């Protein structure tokens, strides 16, 4: 709640965007992803070891927002504890199983698709909950803390890290992208450690928000501290203040020198950075708290909150209502029934997801052969392509298109790249593209029983050793209710 106004912790449109994003991004560039995940595990493992005296036992653990589950694999194998990896994207967890084989890990967490605001666990059933780079995706972080406290046993530990600290020392002039899509002058300022003095919120936040993943970057160090004091009995912190070039390194050192305790606290307040916190719930940890072979005994039904039983085919069933979750490629989807139906529509008439078999039946012209791996499947188009979508419920509709702009698109003699979409012959939007990389386009549609969509793109270019004329790639085209805009 802010200023007396009730704040929705996370809108349904943001949940939808997270499912879409993690499905294709978790292992869409396998070699790059493996390197990033290995680096994250090394960093996170070292951080946890530094605070083991405070945390004590880590099991049974739950990692929320686990993405591909890579850190949960590390916990199971390097720390020898049992636990669960939970993410709202079932596919990201399913794709992440490849990491277990790639890294030769014998043990694996129980993998669950679920919602951090409605955890499918019984009260006081877990010894540790972990969250990395995920709390800032909630407008009301307090709501997540309350749910974490519910499932933690007395004396249990909540570990979160890599959460952004709002930077005060900045002119907040504009929103900067990630390194891969920065312009040359932005990269130079970044290397000098000066870009942070000009930009608003976290570098790269705009790209995630353009996808529909709304970010909460209003948490200062004091706000994080107040939040932890409200909910937990003891805490330990680590602050990581940026040192990108001389522009930040010099100021950081000066701020630490002027702090009475030579602490990074003042530097973190002014320069931002990230926070890692180790928080302990009040009470004494009970003996015999473990997951064991019967992992379902710690869990509860997402719909009615009754217990779950596991059948011979490894499916999970509610002991009271009709809720059921099959084991689908090593992952249980334990989202509430209503959310599961909308977040995982499958091959439906209002969705063209290029990673789902059968999508080609809705493509009518102009799409090349399917390419890509895991959830990052896509098709190139030339100057134009056509598809047909039909709404599954008669409410005002909005078109949502996901694509990627190659750097060659921007090297065609000064021609400005653009994409236009027509619905039933009428233009619903034209967008100028000013950077390489991922783009998501949305536009309201007129009421109709069917939408014949035509995608136009320019300029056309030809790659080396390939005679095909190309513009952009398309990886998803769908309809969403008009009351679910891109910013949630």
Buried b / exposed e along 397-413 (16+ C-beta atoms within 10 A): bbbbbbbbbbeebbeee
- Please give the Cα distance from 459 to 186 (Å, whole number): 25
Question: Quick one: pLDDT band at residue 180, thresholds 50, 70, 90?
Answer: confident
Return the closest-CA partner of residue 119 out of 69, 44, 61: 61
- Please give the Cα distance from 194 to 199 (Å, whole number): 10
Return the closest-CA partner of residue 273 out of 281, 265, 284, 261: 265
Question: pLDDT (tens digit, 9 = 90+) per residue, 254-310?
Answer: 999 998 889 999 999 999 999 999 999 999 999 888 877 789 999 999 999 999 999
Alpha-helical regions (H) of 204-327 = 205-211, 221-231, 246-257, 265-271
Give the count of beta carbons closer than 10 Å to the beta carbon of residue 39: 10
Rounded mean pLDDT, 402-408: 94
Pairing, β 473-481 against β 426-432: unpaired
Sign of CA dihedral 458, 463, 468, 473: negative
- Please give the Cα distance from 219 to 216 (Å, whole number): 7
Q: What are phi and psi of 188, to 5 degrees?
A: -65, -45
Give the count of beta carbons closer than 10 Å to the beta carbon of residue 467: 6
Cross-strand bridge partners of residue 365: 386
Helix (H) or strand (E) holding 401: strand 397-405
Query: To 10 degrees, what angle do helices 30-50 and 70-78 make?
Result: 50
On whether the 351-481 domain is CATH 3.30.1330.90, my answer is no
- Please give the Cα distance from 200 to 166 (Å, whole number): 9
For residue 87, what are its two tokens?
Answer: 């993410």
For residue 252, what are its two tokens?
Answer: 């950081």
Pairing, β 316-318 against β 308-310: antiparallel
Question: pLDDT (tens digit, 9 = 90+) per residue, 448-484?
Answer: 999 999 999 999 999 988 889 999 999 999 999 886 5
Residues 6+ apart with CB under 8 A from 286: 153, 154, 155
Give the count of beta carbons closer than 10 Å to the beta carbon of residue 223: 13
Give the count of beta carbons closer than 10 Å to the beta carbon of residue 172: 12
Greatest pairwise CA separation for the chain in angstroms: 70
Domain ranges of the chain: 12-280, 351-481
CB 174 within 8 A of CB 285: no
For residue 23, what are its two tokens?
Answer: 């499905």
Cross-strand bridge partners of residue 480: 398
In this predicted structure, the answer to whether residue 371 has a pLDDT above a threshold of 70 is: yes
Question: pLDDT (tens digit, 9 = 90+) per residue, 126-147?
Answer: 999 999 999 999 999 999 999 9
- Tell me if residue 399 falls in helix, strand or coil: strand
The CATH code for residues 12-280 is 3.40.50.150
Q: What is the pLDDT of residue 486?
A: 42
Question: pLDDT (tens digit, 9 = 90+) per residue, 381-390?
Answer: 999 999 999 9
CB 462 within 8 A of CB 469: yes
Q: What is the pLDDT of residue 1?
A: 42
Q: Is 358 left (phi over 0), alpha (psi -120 to 50) or beta?
A: left
Q: In what order do the strands lie in the sheet with 316-318?
A: 308-310, 316-318, 324-325
Question: pLDDT (tens digit, 9 = 90+) per residue, 43-81?
Answer: 999 999 999 999 998 989 999 999 999 999 999 999 999
Rounded mean pLDDT, 314-318: 97
**Global pTM value:** 0.92
Pairing, β 126-132 against β 351-353: unpaired
- Token pair 């005679």 is found at 467
For residue 302, what are its two tokens?
Answer: 């997402």
- Please give the Cα distance from 169 to 214 (Å, whole number): 23
Buried b / exposed e along 309-334 (16+ C-beta atoms within 10 A): ebeeeeebbbeeeebebeeeebbbbb
For residue 442, what are its two tokens?
Answer: 């949305």
């Amino acid at each position: 709640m802010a200023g007396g106004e009730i704040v929705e912790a996370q809108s349904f449109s943001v949940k939808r965007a997270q499912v879409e994003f993690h499905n294709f991004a978790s292992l869409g560039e396998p070699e790059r992803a493996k390197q990033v995940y290995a680096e994250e595990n090394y960093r996170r493992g070292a951080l946890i070891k530094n605070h083991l005296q405070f945390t004590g036992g880590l099991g049974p653990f739950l990692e929320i927002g686990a993405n591909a589950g890579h850190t949960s694999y590390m916990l199971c194998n390097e720390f020898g504890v049992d636990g669960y990896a939970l993410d709202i994207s079932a596919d990201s967890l399913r794709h992440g199983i490849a990491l277990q084989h790639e890294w030769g890990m014998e043990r694996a967490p129980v993998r669950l698709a679920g919602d951090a605001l409605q955890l499918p666990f019984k009260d006081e059933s877990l010894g540790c909950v972990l969250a990395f780079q995920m709390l800032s995706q909630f407008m009301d972080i307090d709501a997540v803390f309350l749910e974490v406290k519910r499932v933690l046993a007395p004396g249990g530990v909540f570990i979160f890290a890599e959460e952004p600290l709002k930077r005060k020392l900045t002119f907040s002039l504009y929103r900067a992208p990630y390194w891969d899509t920065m312009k040359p002058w932005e990269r130079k300022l970044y290397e000098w450690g000066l870009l942070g003095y000009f930009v608003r919120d976290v570098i790269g936040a705009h790209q995630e928000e353009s996808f529909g993943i709304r970010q909460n970057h209003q948490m200062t160090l004091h706000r994080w501290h107040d939040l932890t004091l409200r909910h937990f009995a003891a805490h330990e912190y680590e602050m990581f203040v940026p040192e990108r070039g001389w522009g930040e390194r010099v100021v950081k050192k000066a701020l630490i020198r002027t702090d009475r305790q030579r602490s990074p606290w003042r530097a973190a307040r002014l320069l931002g950075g990230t926070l890692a916190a180790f928080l302990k719930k009040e009470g004494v940890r009970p003996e015999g708290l473990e997951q064991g072979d019967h992992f379902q005994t710690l869990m509860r039904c997402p719909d009615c909150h009754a217990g779950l039983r596991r059948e011979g085919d490894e499916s999970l069933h509610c002991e009271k209502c009709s809720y059921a979750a099959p084991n689908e490629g090593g992952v249980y989807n334990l989202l509430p029934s209503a959310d599961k139906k909308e977040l995982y529509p499958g091959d439906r008439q209002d969705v063209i997801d290029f990673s789902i078999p059968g999508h080609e039946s809705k493509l009518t012209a102009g799409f090349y052969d399917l390419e890509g791996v895991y959830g990052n499947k896509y098709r190139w188009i030339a100057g134009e392509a056509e598809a047909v979508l039909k709404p599954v419920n008669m409410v005002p509709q909005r078109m949502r298109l996901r694509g990627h702009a190659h750097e060659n698109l921007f090297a065609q003699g000064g021609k400005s790249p653009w994409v236009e979409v027509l619905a039933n012959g009428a233009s619903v939007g034209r967008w100028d593209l000013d950077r390489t990389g991922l783009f998501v386009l949305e536009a309201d549609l007129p009421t109709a029983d069917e939408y014949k969509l035509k995608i136009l793109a320019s300029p056309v270019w030809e790659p080396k050793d390939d005679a095909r004329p190309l513009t952009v790639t398309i990886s998803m085209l769908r309809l969403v209710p008009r009351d679910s805009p891109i910013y949630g």
